[in-house]
Amino acid sequence: MATTTSSALPLARHIDGDRTGAVHRIAIAAPERAKPDPQRYASAALAALIHRYTGETDLLIARRIGPGPTEIIEPRVSGDETAAELLAAVAAAPPAQPAAGRPCHGLVADAAAQDVADRAALTLTVDRGTYELLLFQDEFDDEAAAQYGRHLARLLTALSNDDGVLVRDLPLLGDEERQRILVQWNRTDQSVPEPFFHEIVADFARRTPEATAIALPDTALTYRELDDRANRLAHRLAAIGVRRQDRVGVCFPRGAESLIAQLACFKLAAAAILLDPDFPADRVRFMVEDASAAAVVTLSAHEDTVRGHCPVLALDVADWHTEPSTEVSAPVDVDDLIHICYTSGSTGAPKAVLVRFGAARNQIHSMCEMTGMNTDTQGTWLAAPGYGMVEVECFPVLAAGGTVHIPDVSVVASPQLLQDWYLDKRITTTLLMKPMAERLWSLDWPADTPLANIRVCGERIQSWPPAGLPFRLINLYGSAEATTVAGCDITELGRELGPEGRGRRLPPIGRPIPNVKIYVLDENLAPVPPGVVGELCIAGHSLSAGYLNRPEATALKWVPNPIDVDPNPMLYRTGDMARYWQDGGIEIIGRVDNQLKVQGNTVQLGEIEVVAARQPGVAQVAVLAHRDADGDVRLTAYIEPKGEPAPAVRDIRRALREKLPAFMVPSAYVVGGLPTSVNGKIDRAALPEPPRSRPDLDSPYREPHTDTEHSLVQLWTKVLELDGIGVRDNFFELGGDSLRGARLTEQVRELFDVDVELGDLLHEPTIDRMVEVIEAAHAR
């Protein structure tokens, strides 16, 4: 398992240059066996502590004994070596020189070393067999310093007691610490009302039938209408053969039909396979076949996309409205499947996550409780329909008896239009992916806005929101495999920490939601102390049932729980690296694999590489993610051709668009030989930055001539971070997407004082067409 490689120790701010100021002084009793050779034991214990805290293996340890010069050694520390081997390694470690920008991890010195400026982040002094740990107070708070002292003392004792113990098994945690981490921070047991989501909606249809359940730009559905239509559709699905525990494809854009179809599936105790009609047809058909769908429900416009493997029911042309509206309610168990959600897979094909009714019920209850939803709640549906985010965004609102508002597609990608829509519809709660949330919280908001909270998800938040926002920002953490498992009000926490505290840490994901246990574990699935990086692992009611038709992949991620078998026999290994802070908050550090988030969607870069490598003339492929100037993820594909002529970028891009969702298609391409490391693997660190030059396109280059064209080229250049753009180039073939499109549209409105919509760009995404739109607007 990978660990952090940062040279800055956890719980501390690494400060370059001289250190000055007050220090913590922690006395540590020396074990009897260490007293004859205290410097060697001090060096070994310090090296073991740093290795266990940071995962680094090549350390720099400074040693100064007496008035002589400081010696720097570079011991290599491994978790697989014994205590005796570690002691021998520090004794025989060769002298070294610290590289530029790589300070020493620790200093072992005798008590005469009083020059504060020479001390490292951790300084251990030795005085005739006694030890004192010195830590700077401006880098370590009281709790962190005390923890370092306790753990160093345990390591010294263990090193002197057992020559054969492995470094990775050296004890760090005491009983009190284990109790706090494993038990106190996971006291989440809570009763959840028994009815499942569709049963709650049916109850509201009986109690408040005329209350608005779904509000669209041109229509609305009451709870009675929503439930009646779901019952009628359930009767029709049963008539064509859908039975309990079957799987039904649900392929719609955001809208009432999708929610009706999902409710109909749930009433039959059948799982809804979430499909996005914007996905390539081959990908959708693969999902339908892979999930063994008994039927697919869609609209006539998407019938060709899903046709071929099972009966297809197009709601806008079929006569299902003639079915009775009598209640359909097949018995449901917590382990029955509610959703089948496809995520990116490293093998080149998407993999299906099996979401349980019990996990969805716990999540819905937690979201309602976390945000205080009730019958007055005005919520939203903005997330893409092909993923399980509907459980987080829409279902809690309906389970509270509130109203789900669904905007026009042009609103979703524009921060300004979205803010206007929130205010106009008096939205009280919403769910946003991190890039859009950051843009929304940077806008000016009226103090009396009805918006009470924004739940933020999709990517790690790496900056604190500004002070004084009139609504709460709740950082959510979860995945399709484990639904939502943690949340944190980062606006309130930011106020509590103050400027200095915010400077020391990133926004955390917070604490586990009800009935979920979260652990940060080492490679042996043992708990690690606060500040130490490990893998985030989850147990409890939130877990899905694994991957469909992927027993090996399931066995790698769902493992026997070594901590709390009863009542949680399985543990889900997320692959996210995290660490606890002293208050129990959890901070996500990174990933152990080649997975990341793009526009809030989980993406395995390996899937893109596999699909690209299958194209004619391609030998091998590497895909990397970079951040653009606005912090958004930009994918770059590095293509090594098999020979001459090299494959055309436009052909590769076109092939990827036919196989992958738009957010997985790289925006930049580099064709040429790929650098390799000494072991023959692609050296990803040596790959160049994405090019700024205009890519190979289907359209010939045409330079700008008019002032308007020149101005638009400048805007496109800034948004796309590309040079040499022509006026007939397609915005999306240049690497644009809906987020960049919304950004560009807003800048065009401001520069030319015209009312341009995102749809104008989406319809014909070229500069010369945009010129026509601007001129037509000015002529009116």
List, for residues 472-486, the tens digit of each pLDDT value. Answer: 999 999 999 999 999
pLDDT over threshold 50, residue 680: yes
DSSP string, 391-411: HHHTHHHHHTT-EEE---HHH
What integer pLDDT is reported at residue 499 of this predicted model? 85
CA torsion through residues 7, 10, 16, 21, sign: negative
Residue 627 lies in a domain: yes
- Look up the CATH number of the domain holding residue 769: 1.10.1200.10
pLDDT digits (tens, 9 = 90+) for 276-318: 999 999 999 999 999 999 999 999 999 999 988 899 999 999 9
CA angle 240, 246, 251 (to 5 degrees): 75
Is 539 within a domain? yes
Strand order in the sheet with 61-64: 23-28, 130-136, 122-127, 106-110, 61-64, 71-73
Q: Say if residue 763 is in the same domain as residue 669.
A: no
Name the pLDDT band for 90 (thresholds 50, 70, 90). Answer: confident
pTM across the whole model:
0.80
Here the CATH number for the domain that contains residue 641 is: 3.30.300.30
Query: Is there a domain that residue 296 lies in?
Result: no
For residues 563 and 506, state if they share a domain.
Answer: yes
Q: In whole angstroms, what is the distance from residue 305 CA to residue 275 CA?
A: 10
Residues 58 and 155 in one domain: yes
Helix axes 197-207, 223-239, angle to 10 degrees: 130
Peptide bond into 666 cis (omega under 30): no
Q: Is residue 720 part of a domain?
A: yes
Higher pLDDT, 420 or 5: 420
Is residue 401, in this structure, part of any structural domain at all?
no
What is the rounded distance in angstroms from the CA atom of residue 378 to the CA atom of residue 427?
Answer: 5
Residues 484 and 607 in one domain: no
* Measured distance CA(365)–CA(453) in Å, rounded: 17
**Whether 495 and 631 share a structural domain:** no
Rounded mean pLDDT, 760-776: 81
Torsion of CA 282, 288, 289, 291, to 10 degrees: 140
Is 391 within the bounds of a domain? no
Are residues 626 and 651 part of one domain? yes
Q: How far is residue 308's CA from residue 290's CA, in Å, rounded to a whole number?
A: 13
Q: What is the pLDDT averaged over residues 594-612?
A: 75
Confirm if 430 and 760 have CB atoms less than 8 A apart: no
Residues 711 and 627 in one domain: no
Per residue in 629-642, pLDDT tens?
Answer: 777 788 899 998 88
Q: Which of 530, 559, 591 is the last residue of a domain?
A: 591
Find residue 73's DSSP bridge partners: 61, 95
CB atoms within 10 A of CB 100: 6
Instruction: Using a pLDDT cut of 70, give the percent of the chain over it.
Output: 93
Q: Which two tokens stand for residue 90?
A: 């520090």
Last residue within a domain, chosen from 591, 608, 626: 591
Same domain flag for 647 and 676: yes
Indicate if the pLDDT at residue 541 is higher than 70: yes
Q: pLDDT band at residue 341, thresholds of 50, 70 and 90?
A: very high
The mean pLDDT of the chain is 87
Residue 359 clears pLDDT 90, i.e. is over it: yes
Would residue 524 count as lying in a domain? yes
Same domain for 711 and 646, yes or no, is no
Q: Is residue 264 part of a domain?
A: no
Of the candidates 584, 484, 590, 535, which has an alpha carbon nearest to the alpha carbon of residue 475? 484
- The residue range of the domain holding 648 is 596-686
Q: Could you say which of 565, 591, 617 is where a domain stops?
A: 591
Q: At what angle do helices 197-207 and 256-267 cross, to 10 degrees?
A: 110
Number of residues assigned to the chain: 780
DSSP label at residue 252: -
Instruction: Return the pLDDT at 283.
Output: 92
CB atoms within 10 A of CB 728: 14
Mean pLDDT value of segment 646-670: 87
Is 181 in the same domain as 146? Answer: no
Question: Quick one: 726 and 606 in the same domain?
Answer: no
Residues 164-216 pLDDT 10s: 999 988 889 999 999 999 999 999 999 999 999 999 999 999 999 999 999 99
pLDDT confidence tier of residue 11, bands split at 50, 70 and 90: very low
- Residue 188 tokens, joined: 């989440």
Helix (H, G, I), strand (E, B) or coil at 124: strand
Domain containing 414 — which CATH number? 3.40.50.12780
- Express each pLDDT in 388-418 by its tens digit: 899 999 999 999 999 999 999 889 888 899 9
Domain shared by 540 and 681, yes or no: no
In this structure, are strands 453-457 and 429-433 parallel, antiparallel, or unpaired?
Answer: parallel
Counting the structural domains of the chain, the total is 4
Mean pLDDT of 513-538: 91
